[in-house]
Each structure stands twice: as C-alpha cells, then as structure tokens.
Structure 1
Amino acid sequence: MRPIDVTPLITDPYATYAGLREAGPVHRITGPDGRPAWLVTRYADVRRGLNDPRLSLDKRHALPGQYSGFALPPALDANLLNMDPPDHTRVRGLVVKAFTPGRVAKMRAPLAKTAGQLLDAIEPDGRADLLTGYAGPLPVIAICDLLGIPERDRRDFRQWTDTLLTPDPANPAAIKEAVVAMMRFFGGLIGSKRAEPGDDLLSDLIAVRDDEDGALSADELTSLAFLLLLGGCEPTVHLIGNTVLALLDHPELMREVRKNPDSLAAVVDEVNRWDGPYPLAIRRFPVEEVEIGGVRIPAGETVLLSLASANRDEQQFPEADRIDLHRDRSGNLAFGHGIHHCLAASLARMEAETALAALLERFPHLELAVPREELRWRPTIRARGLISLPVRWDSTERAGF
C-alpha cells in the first residue's frame, strides 16, 4: 500500500477525510516527521479501536524507528497517555477518586469571575486576538486553581506553559528548559502540599497516594500534574476558538444561542464533534498483528485513529458536515471512548461553556476583525486550532444574551 501524503489533512482536512473514508477504512500515510503510520478513518473501526486491548498506548510496544514523539523525562513519561491496564486501571481509578464532578462544578463560579476580569482587560480596546487575550489564559488560570498553585508562582508557571503550548521554532532548547523547570516546581509543590494540604486536586491526589490501599508514586503525581496542564489547556483554548469561529460563520446559530443561552452546552458539544481540537486519538501500537477494516497491520507499527474523520462519518451522523444542535450526539468520539475516554472532558466542557457565555453576554456585536480567508490554522495533523482569532466589538455597548 503506497503511503499517502498528509498535507491535505492540514490544508483541507474534512474533504480529505471524506475522500479517504470513501476509498477505504485504513490508509498507509507518511507523517510530517517522515515516519509511516496507519490511519483509520471510519466511525465503526475508530470506535472499536479506541477500546481494543490489542492496540497499546505503551511506547515500548513500538518497533524501533517506527515512532518519534515528544521526548519527556522518565518521571513525566509515567502518565496515563503511555499506560495500559493494569497500571492504567490503577492510576486512573485513584485519580477519579479525587477528580470528581463536584470539584468541577465548584470551579464554574470562580472561572466565570476570571473570565469577566479577562474581558474587562481587553474590552476598552474594541478588538483583540481572542486566543492570546482570552481563550489562552483562561484555561491556564483554571488549571492553576485546580492544582492549587499559589498566586506568587503563577507568573513563572504561565511563562513555562506559554513556552510549551506555543514553542518558538528558533529556540528549541526553551522547551527542555521549561520542562526541567516545571518538574522542579511540581516536585517542590507536592512536598509543600504534603506538609500543608489545601482544598485542591493536587492535595487530594497526594492524600490518595498516601492511602495504604493504593498509591500514586512521586513520578505519577508529577506526570499527572503535567498531563493536566498539557491536556487541560491547549485543547480547551482551541475548543473555545473553534466554537467562536463556528458561531461567527453561522449567524443563525449565533441567533439561536443568544435567544436560548441554555443551548450553549449543545453548541460546545456539537462543535467539538464537527470541528474539535483533537483530530487524532493518542497513537497506538498493536501488541500482535491486527486486522482493521480488512487491512492487516503488523505488531509494533503506529496506528492513528481519526476522531475528526469518525465524527464526520455519514454512517453514524447523517448530514455530518452540518452543525445540528438537535442531532443525536451520544456517539460523539471527540473525547475518546472506553477506558481512555478523556479524564478532563467535563472540565473542558465547563471551561468552554463558561468562556463563551461570558464573551457573548459582554459583546452583542462580536465579529471578525480580518477577512475570513486570512485566518490560518496550525500546520499540524495532531491539533485543530487557529493560529490567531482577531475579533472586534463595540466597546461602548453592553448586552446580555
């Protein structure tokens, strides 16, 4: 099978995925790094693959030379995105005890206040890049609150997260420096919270770790904090940005949301299906030869399950290219499926809903500040997000929904 160039998946992803689904369920591709992988495109196969125990997340099952990912120190590699059962079951079970729906619900009101403060800062200008001025900082502040990061440390924390989430190609060493600094920071923070626990997730995770019935290792605690940062910030930034753009592109949808603010949760969920920030699930490696859609894939090769393609599959979602708030989205795979379903899905939804509610309430005539064709998407197949989202509003006018 001749490898497919992935460039069209960046420049025109949904039309390209539609063509691939029509042509076949599984395709050999050459990734941007020049390494081969198998891309699974149809809903039924992707859903099965997400919960197939033969498809391992553990990089140790990858064949030599088949995979090159983000290199992390061993302490940070001990995370849920690189684990299979039984380790995954144990760690996730302990985290779930601390990361409860009640904790997420308690964050909504403080987050709404923070959203208001961020909007206060940009409102007088009448325009802003919504990603850097609003959607970017809000999830970082939420994660700081969630983990109980002291106010005095947040400036450094923001600098490190900015380096990791928007790396400077001209300074690749900065990423390594930021990772080392954050490891040192989290090590000290865990020590201080063990001595003086607070009302935060990290303190609760430490308490779970110290139970005699189960334990999170020091590396697991550090990697969980790091994972919450990376997994809880960047996707939420782009979920907010993509949803704002969808509303601006679909005036009838904007009118419906303003008329019925309770529909905002459905809007976030539907846009997450239609144009979510995660086009691909975390890579998998078959522990044995597997057959997907009639295609045999050798053990150890890289398998990419396309969430973006699956969520636009007409066999699962009729008129999948259309935003429909009233469709059945119970099979939405945007946050994964099965034992690896995103642990922070409820947090991401809450953050996006809160951010959008505050934004739409504040600005009644929000619009793009540049021609639509000037917007640019990040040049990667692994994330779906805008590089910037310039918007403007009438700074003299206030409105509610």
Structure 2
Amino acid sequence: MTDTCPRALTTLADAPASEFDLSDPAFITDPAAGERWTGGPRPVCRGRFADGTDIWVATAYEDVRKVLGEPTLRSRPPGDSHRESMLSRGIPEDIVDMFDSTLLTMDGADHMRVRRLVTRALSARRMQALTPAITRVAHRLLDDLAGKPEPDLIADYAHPLAIIVICEMLGVDEHYREQWRDWSETLAQALRPNPEQFAPAVRGMARMTKEIIEARQAEPRDDLISELVQVHEEDSDRLTDDELVALAMVLVQAGHETVRNLIALGVFTLLQHPEQLKQFTSDPSIAAKAVAELVRHTAPVKHTFRRFATEPVEIGGVTVQPGEAIQVVLAAANRDPEEFEQPQELDLTREHNPHLGFGRGAHYCLGASLALIEGEVALTALFERFPDLQLAVDPAEIAPRYLLAMQRLPVHLTPRKGEE
C-alpha cells in the first residue's frame, strides 16, 4: 500500500492532492492512470471529480464498506449544486427535475419508497426464472456470429444480449432498441459529456420513455413498465410522473451497460488467463462462482457516484465534513489484501469473495442478480460454442481504460467439432 496521505486530517483543504483526478484526460486515454487506482487500496486522501471539485477518495475495503453503508452520507449534494451540475453537463432545463428523481440521486424514505416498487420484480428468484429466455437470446446471437469472419463481441454479442434482455423484461419494443442503444452510448460518458450529443440523447430518451409509458397506459402487458404504470395510476403518491419516467430510463440504462461491460471484460480477461479459461470450460459447476470472481477482478463498475456528508463522519482516519464529498473506488477495494487472499490473481474457484462490485447498502445494485445470470449464460454459451476463440488484435490495442469502457473486442472464431 502506498501511504500518500496523512491519517490525522480533519478537513479536505488540509489534504495534499493525489493522483486520483477524474478531470485529467489520462483517465480516459492512459490505461496506466486507472491501473494506479484499481490495483489496490490506499489511505483515504484527496482527489478531484470530473468537474474539478475536490473530493475525498476511499479505496480500502473496510473504508469503502463504511461509506456505502453510512446513512449520513447522501447521494444528492447540498443546496442547488446538483441542479447546477446537471445543467452544466447538458441536461435540458425542462427535464432537470425529472433527472433529479432517479434512484441514483434519492436517499432515505423517498429512495426506499421507489426502490420497493421494483425490488420484487427484480428478485433473485424471478431473475433465475429468466435463464431459459436469456439462453435462447445468447444462442440466437451466436448463430449470427458464426457467419462473420471477424466479429466484434461487444457490438455483435455483449451489447445486443444485454439490451435485448433488459428491454424485453421492461417491455421496450424492438423498434426502439437501436435508437436507445445509440443514446445509451452517449449517456454512458456522463462524466465527460459532449454537450452537443448529450442534451439530444437525454431529451430523446425521456421522450421515448414517455411514449412507451403512454402505450402501456392504453394497453397494459405482462412487463415491468406495465406494473409500474399500474402502481402510478392507483396511487400517484407512491410514484410521481417524473419518478415513473426516470425509473424506467435508469432501469434500461443501468440494466444493460453493466452487463455489457461484464461480458466484454470477462471474455477479455479469460483470454489473458488460458489456464483459468480451461478450468471454466471444463467444469460447468463453477460458472456462478467464476462470474462472481470476474466481477471482483475486472470491476465492470469502477467506482460509485459521490456521497455527500450531512454531518461529520470519520472514514479511514479522516473526518469528512458536512458538504464535502467522498467517492469510493470499488475496483481497488476488491483487490485489498486485507480482505482477499492473493487479490491480484484471477481465481475462478475463490471461496471467500465478498466483493463490492455491485455496491452495498441502500444503493446496492437492483439488477445484480440479473447481471450475474446474464454473465454466466453469455460466457458459458460463447466458450462452449467457440472453445478456441482468440483475440484478433493485440490486447494492448483494446485494453479498457478507467473512465472508458472497452469499445471493441474483435475475435477469430473456431466452432466446436461438428459445426464447421
């Protein structure tokens, strides 16, 4: 562990600056910049958010656990700064209030009220029941892959599988999905948005979501959006107009982006660890455990949103003062040697694996069960169908960056015997 920050600090202003600077373009362009903060924990110290403001940064496992479970740390900043931040990122003023009504920015009673409406629909048991349908989608996409000389496993497999599954579950019609995918790619760059692209994407996604909701109001179906519409119509106090639209948008956006990254990073990482890949393909019984280890090791979600202190709170030997922000690096916490044995090693049969890849506490990822099932199905089906799959480019060309998900994953395919 590199001890770059004193442990007896009481204010953010007292702390020396660290290398964790999300406003630095290196976090997008230089793989080494991110690796310095995902390779393991450091003491809590001062960093910089993408907008240039100072933040505390927590990377050690126990510090991250405390931040994620601390009720006095809130998602929404004090005063009007959150609204101003959204406007500065290109969110149109007329829909800012709607974007301020998402689960990601809610806390306390409001957060639990909205969260409870979808928790049952996304329960582990209900997600497990989707496995046959997810498997059919995966095999259909693999059929299409077989005819391509050099397919891109992100564009041709990981992304369509993730978007198809979440859209079918929610009830987003097929003719919306390609447009939604394009907008989602733009919104995924929320920390470094292009205002000319970001505002139209946000507005278009909100408009399309309202269209889908109106269609379900007129003609309900057996899908999650129809369930939410029914709740809204029966009791608008449980779910307001803005909350309904924002919730549907967040579920689609978050429900496919994390899965896309998990599948892409999983394939990339397994190909870099041939002995582990051999173990994965030869022993189907380890699939669930293996995917959990891939979440820990590859960190499809590198960090969480900032949390803001409402009263002084001690984290890792420093005091986060009211109004100050702290950000946790999940990727580093999941490689903490105080919690994990040989944390830098990929071990698909790891027994002790209380990873924080999906967060913890009140904001624990609602779609964690679905993501794990999709990852298990997607990776198992892919390597069963193409056991000798290989990268078509040098790994350094496509290696993931800290703030930029893998953009492409070109491969050469070799089908199993009997399918040539």
Secondary structure, in 3 states, of the residue corresponding to 1:98?
A: coil
Instruction: Go from structure 1 to structure 2 and tell me whether the alpha carbon gap of 1:216 and 1:398 turns closer, same or farther (over 3 Å shift).
Output: farther
Measured in 1, the distance between the counterparts of 2:258 and 2:305 equals 13
Cα distance, 1:333 vs structure 2: 0.7
**Cα RMSD for the two superposed structures:** 2.8
Cα distance, 1:32 vs structure 2: 4.3
Contact 2:293 2:353 in 1 (8 A): no
Measured in 2, the distance between the counterparts of 1:256 and 1:334 equals 23
Matched, 1:48 2:60: no
Measured in 1, the distance between the counterparts of 2:309 and 2:166 equals 34
Cα distance, 1:335 vs structure 2: 0.5
Matched, 1:228 2:251: yes
Measured in 1, the distance between the counterparts of 2:273 and 2:226 equals 43
Alignment gaps of 5+ in structure 1: none
Cα distance, 1:393 vs structure 2: 1.4
Cα deviation, 1:238-282, whole Å, max 9, x if unaligned, reads 111111112111111111111112212111100101111111122
Contact 1:63 1:301 in 2 (8 A): no
Alignment of 1:299-318 (within 5 A): 299-318=322-341
Q: Structure 2-normalised TM-score?
A: 0.85
Cα deviation, 1:187-240, whole Å, max 9, x if unaligned, reads 121122122211111111222334459621121111111111221111111111
Which letter does structure 1 place at the counterpart of 2:133? Answer: P
Partner of 1:272: 295
Cα deviation, 1:266-305, whole Å, max 9, x if unaligned, reads 1110010111111112210101222211112222122101
Aligned counterpart for 1:344 among listed residues 324, 349, 367? 367
Measured in 1, the distance between the counterparts of 2:40 and 2:347 equals 22
Alignment gaps of 5+ in structure 2: 1-14
Partner of 1:196: 219
Which letter does structure 1 place at the counterpart of 2:280? Answer: V
Partner of 2:316: 293
Measured in 2, the distance between the counterparts of 1:105 and 1:19 equals 33
Which letter does structure 1 place at the counterpart of 2:221? Answer: G
Partner of 1:375: 398
Secondary structure, in 3 states, of the residue corresponding to 2:222?
A: coil
Question: Which shows bigger deviation, 64-73 or 274-283?
Answer: 64-73
Matched, 1:181 2:204: yes
Measured in 2, the distance between the counterparts of 1:306 and 1:76 equals 24
Cα distance, 1:398 vs structure 2: 5.4
Which letter does structure 2 place at the counterpart of 1:39? Answer: V
Contact 1:76 1:222 in 2 (8 A): no
Measured in 2, the distance between the counterparts of 1:322 and 1:62 equals 44
Contact 1:36 1:66 in 2 (8 A): no
Matched, 1:158 2:181: yes
Which letter does structure 2 place at the counterpart of 1:392? Answer: H
Partner of 2:358: 335
Partner of 2:19: 5
Alignment of 1:31-180 (within 5 A): 31-60=49-78, 70=89, 72=91, 73-165=96-188, 172-180=195-203
Cα distance, 1:144 vs structure 2: 1.3
Contact 2:77 2:323 in 1 (8 A): no
Secondary structure, in 3 states, of the residue corresponding to 1:49?
A: helix
Measured in 1, the distance between the counterparts of 2:181 and 2:46 equals 39
Cα distance, 1:107 vs structure 2: 2.6
Contact 1:119 1:134 in 2 (8 A): yes
Aligned counterpart for 2:267 among listed residues 244, 250, 254? 244
Cα distance, 1:389 vs structure 2: 1.5
Measured in 2, the distance between the counterparts of 1:81 and 1:328 equals 31
Contact 2:398 2:408 in 1 (8 A): yes
Instruction: Go from structure 1 to structure 2 and tell me whether the alpha carbon gap of 1:244 and 1:85 turns closer, same or farther (over 3 Å shift).
Output: same
Cα distance, 1:158 vs structure 2: 3.5
Instruction: Go from structure 1 to structure 2 and tell me whether the alpha carbon gap of 1:200 and 1:312 turns closer, same or farther (over 3 Å shift).
Output: same
Partner of 2:406: 386
Instruction: Go from structure 1 to structure 2 and tell me whether the alpha carbon gap of 1:306 and 1:379 turns closer, same or farther (over 3 Å shift).
Output: closer
Instruction: Go from structure 1 to structure 2 and tell me whether the alpha carbon gap of 1:70 and 1:262 turns closer, same or farther (over 3 Å shift).
Output: farther
Measured in 2, the distance between the counterparts of 1:197 and 1:275 equals 39
Measured in 2, the distance between the counterparts of 1:262 and 1:61 equals 51
Instruction: Go from structure 1 to structure 2 and tell me whether the alpha carbon gap of 1:224 and 1:19 turns closer, same or farther (over 3 Å shift).
Output: closer
Which letter does structure 2 place at the counterpart of 1:26? Answer: V
**Percent identity over paired residues:** 36
Cα distance, 1:358 vs structure 2: 1.8
Aligned counterpart for 2:377 among listed residues 354, 361, 367? 354
Measured in 2, the distance between the counterparts of 1:186 and 1:57 equals 24
Cα deviation, 1:83-142, whole Å, max 9, x if unaligned, reads 111111111112223333344234322222222222222222232221112111211111
Instruction: Number of aligned residue pairs: give it.
Output: 393
Cα distance, 1:394 vs structure 2: 2.6
Measured in 2, the distance between the counterparts of 1:65 and 1:295 equals 28
Contact 1:63 1:300 in 2 (8 A): no
Aligned counterpart for 2:388 among listed residues 365, 368, 371? 365
